[in-house]
A and B are shown apart, each in its own frame.
Chain A
């Protein structure tokens, strides 16, 4: 079945550092890929998405490129801020298969001032 694997946290960085959170997926079809972010005490919210191979999703300085050849969707940001501290979830949805959204286990990010 479909699955998502992302790097385990926590990840601790200093402010203005470069961020990469790795995500790889397994899917039989042509899924859409997502990154969601969860701030303390809140539900998940969409950060960015890509719906087909080679698409790049971007938002708030974060980027991720849908790489079909490596089945990856790594999240990157060039200069992180304290306010980026949160839990980040990689996810996929394959509407051609069913309506399920499959989430990774989440990566907790701490940014130190």
Chain B
């Protein structure tokens, strides 16, 4: 298995634009997590899904952020409109039978 695949690896966008981050989980993993990492706040859990259903979105910072998991092999995190303070590295991680989390390489988002 190729592991958790995130795209794009880097994204630079202008303030106000819509940004969509993508994640392909490991096949068979039924929980998927979106994290945001910054120097100031560390690693923050934004939302997680179990069997494609959003379970806890209490970490989503505001209504500009939304996440979907239309099927077991794909999830998106969307920011609309984006702001400079959204600049961070966004990670997707998945778990299966084991409690171990497998992380993607992350998407480095820069909003200018």
Task: Identify the A interface with B (CB < 8 A).
Answer: 32, 34, 36, 42-46, 49, 51, 89, 91, 93, 95, 98-106
Whether B95 contacts A101 by the Cβ 8 Å rule is: yes
User: B25 an interface residue at 8 Å Cβ cutoff?
Assistant: no
What 0/1 readout, one digit per residue, does chain B (84-109) give for beta carbons within 8 Å of chain A?
Answer: 00000001010100011101111000
Whether A93 contacts B99 by the Cβ 8 Å rule is: yes
Assembled-state Cα–Cα distance A63/B89 (Å): 29
Q: Given the known inter-chain contacts A100-B45, A103-B43, please indicate yes or no for A46 contacting B100, CB distance below 8 A.
A: yes
Total cross-chain contacts (CB, 8 A): 56
Residue of A nearest to B30 (CB): A99
Whether A34 contacts B100 by the Cβ 8 Å rule is: yes
User: B33 an interface residue at 8 Å Cβ cutoff?
Assistant: yes
User: B48 an interface residue at 8 Å Cβ cutoff?
Assistant: yes
Assembled-state Cα–Cα distance A49/B105 (Å): 21
Assembled-state Cα–Cα distance A47/B45 (Å): 20
Whether B56 contacts A100 by the Cβ 8 Å rule is: yes
User: B76 an interface residue at 8 Å Cβ cutoff?
Assistant: no
Distance from B47 Cβ to chain A, minimum over Cβ atoms (Å): 11
Residue of A nearest to B3 (CB): A43
Assembled-state Cα–Cα distance A93/B31 (Å): 13
Q: Kindly identify which residue among B31, B50, B103 contacts A43, using a CB–CB cutoff of 8 Å.
A: B103
Please name 14 further chain A to chain B contacts, defined as beta carbons within 8 Å, in addition to the given A43-B93, A98-B55, sorted by A numbering. A42-B106, A43-B4, A43-B104, A49-B100, A89-B43, A93-B99, A95-B99, A99-B50, A100-B48, A101-B33, A101-B93, A101-B95, A101-B99, A103-B43
Q: Which of B73-91 contact A (CB under 8 A)?
A: 91
Give the top 10 A-B pairs by smallest Cβ distance, nearest first.
A43-B103, A105-B42, A93-B99, A99-B31, A44-B103, A32-B99, A103-B43, A46-B100, A43-B105, A101-B101
Distance from A106 Cβ to chain B, minimum over Cβ atoms (Å): 6
Q: Which residues of A contact B43 (CB under 8 A)?
A: 44, 89, 103, 105-106
Assembled-state Cα–Cα distance A37/B36 (Å): 16
Assembled-state Cα–Cα distance A100/B105 (Å): 20
